[in-house]
A and B are shown apart, each in its own frame.
Chain A
């Protein structure tokens, strides 16, 4: 009797396990072809009308007197809602939480490029010497989303039409080096750097002059369900950046002002963002359908 009970129980457990596996299988997206790019799109959310996948492959970010080339790809992914009267759709965060990927970019000149040894206080000098001796001179600049993804706004019409703002992106720049500590940022959630990127021509205040982006070469894929814009160029050189904050850990009161001085003026007209890459967009319904067709 006991043996029989044990057998029934183990069979039941096996059935439950198999059912769980089966459920896990259906929950897993199995997108195919070009649809695979949209695996992190919240296409099951009713409000999401489009899926967006944009990779910046090159370009540069100019912050005051510092220019950081983009050498490692940065990905923006998620969903976009119905467009409003101004032709903007609200952004929805990527399902894996990585709406804007964190790709550390090398800051030319490293530590000495942003904390000059000569003009620094003795304590800072001594610390820099230590970091130089231990080859910890590399500084990375990582672009991060400053506010929730819902504050990103995208206009596909402007993106393709090469006029007006195509992408509103609130960001902050994370400067990373052991000497700078973990909290050295330009921009924050309460005071973000607001990029109003366009594929058209900018109208920046002086001393910057207008620069022009590009929609790129458009192509419809997967029977019109996906659009890809290759060689897309988004630009903005009219943005302002707040002062850096939190640099140098406990020596922040000494280091942050030095970095601020090194960056120079970061008011509007002194900065630029040039993002070159590929933008892909798909109808959320089509991505969902592709998912359902490939369980």
Chain B
């Protein structure tokens, strides 16, 4: 009789543990929503960075026009997507010596997915590759093509409908971007606004 009770107890513990695992994975995979309803099909998010800079130790590069196009969808309840366009214009550096001759995103589309870390929703963009050709006769990187590669995680704010990328969000998601073989800093705030079927609808992630 005692054996039966022990067996039931063990089974219950196992069930609770299993539920906990599922609960964790469920919260780790949020979905895209519009007006609180889960997105069906796909949607296009289009916008420009409110602010964005990329820092290699000793050199910060900023772009006035940091546009992006992101196609999103939900797959098995999990938000997915891909960055399909990322035109960058009017880029400068914080030094008088170095200018930006050319800059461009490569190997698009970059896959993305949503995740949750400590109740905060994040978007993870993988396979990032941006090549920067620096110019300036006095610049050490003059005529040197510097590829920026890696993955980046940004926190999503449902209230302001923005995605923020910085050192904390990259660290929280275990992602990193590298240039000149060095971990670099990327700071950017991107509005997340639908431009296809859900225009002017409140977008959220949960």
Which A residues contact B (CB, under 8 angstroms)?
A: 49-50, 82-83, 87, 156-157, 160-162, 199, 214-221, 223-227, 229, 281-283, 285-286, 289
- A8 and B137 CA atoms in complex are apart in Å by 50
B98 within 8 A of A: yes
A218/B137 in contact, CB under 8 A: no
| Minimal Cβ-Cβ distance residue in B for A155 | B144
Partner of A224, one of B95, B145, B182: B95
A281/B140 in contact, CB under 8 A: yes
Decide yes or no: A218 and B182 within 8 Å by CB, A157-B144, A224-B95, A224-B98 being known contacts: yes
B145/A227 in contact, CB under 8 A: no
Q: How far is the CB of A278 from chain B (nearest CB, A)?
A: 13
Interface pairs (22), CB distance under 8 Å: A49-B143, A156-B141, A161-B147, A199-B181, A215-B180, A216-B181, A217-B181, A218-B57, A219-B58, A220-B57, A220-B58, A220-B59, A220-B95, A220-B98, A221-B58, A224-B139, A224-B141, A225-B138, A229-B181, A281-B140, A283-B137, A283-B142
| Minimal Cβ-Cβ distance residue in A for B181 | A215
B145/A157 in contact, CB under 8 A: yes
Which B residues contact A (CB, under 8 angstroms)?
A: 56-59, 93, 95-98, 136-147, 179-182
Decide yes or no: A229 and B180 within 8 Å by CB, A218-B57, A221-B58, A224-B97 being known contacts: yes
- A221 and B98 CA atoms in complex are apart in Å by 12
B97/A223 in contact, CB under 8 A: yes
Q: List A contacts of B143 (CB < 8 A).
A: 49, 82-83, 156
- A260 and B126 CA atoms in complex are apart in Å by 52
A223/B96 in contact, CB under 8 A: yes
- A151 and B79 CA atoms in complex are apart in Å by 55
- A162 and B179 CA atoms in complex are apart in Å by 10
Q: List A contacts of B98 (CB < 8 A).
A: 220, 224
A227/B181 in contact, CB under 8 A: no
Q: List A contacts of B179 (CB < 8 A).
A: 160, 218
Judged by DSSP, the binding face of B is loop
- A283 and B139 CA atoms in complex are apart in Å by 6
| Minimal Cβ-Cβ distance residue in A for B144 | A156
Q: List B contacts of A225 (CB < 8 A).
A: 97, 138-140
B181/A282 in contact, CB under 8 A: no
Q: List A contacts of B140 (CB < 8 A).
A: 50, 220-221, 224-227, 281-283, 286
B181/A218 in contact, CB under 8 A: yes
Q: List A contacts of B181 (CB < 8 A).
A: 160, 162, 199, 214-218, 229
- A271 and B40 CA atoms in complex are apart in Å by 59
A285/B57 in contact, CB under 8 A: no
B95/A223 in contact, CB under 8 A: yes
| Minimal Cβ-Cβ distance residue in B for A214 | B181
- A285 and B135 CA atoms in complex are apart in Å by 13
Q: How far is the CB of A219 from chain B (nearest CB, A)?
A: 4
Give 4 closest A-B pairs by Cβ, nearest first.
A218-B180, A220-B58, A215-B181, A224-B95
By CB atoms of chain B within 10 A, which of A218, A226, A285 has the most?
A218
| Minimal Cβ-Cβ distance residue in A for B137 | A285
- A161 and B180 CA atoms in complex are apart in Å by 6
- A87 and B144 CA atoms in complex are apart in Å by 9
Q: List A contacts of B59 (CB < 8 A).
A: 220, 224
B142/A160 in contact, CB under 8 A: no
Q: List B contacts of A227 (CB < 8 A).
A: 140-141, 180
A289/B138 in contact, CB under 8 A: yes
| Minimal Cβ-Cβ distance residue in A for B94 | A224
A217/B182 in contact, CB under 8 A: yes
- A225 and B97 CA atoms in complex are apart in Å by 7
- A236 and B147 CA atoms in complex are apart in Å by 23
A160/B180 in contact, CB under 8 A: yes
Q: How far is the CB of A224 from chain B (nearest CB, A)?
A: 4
Q: How far is the CB of B56 from chain A (nearest CB, A)?
A: 6
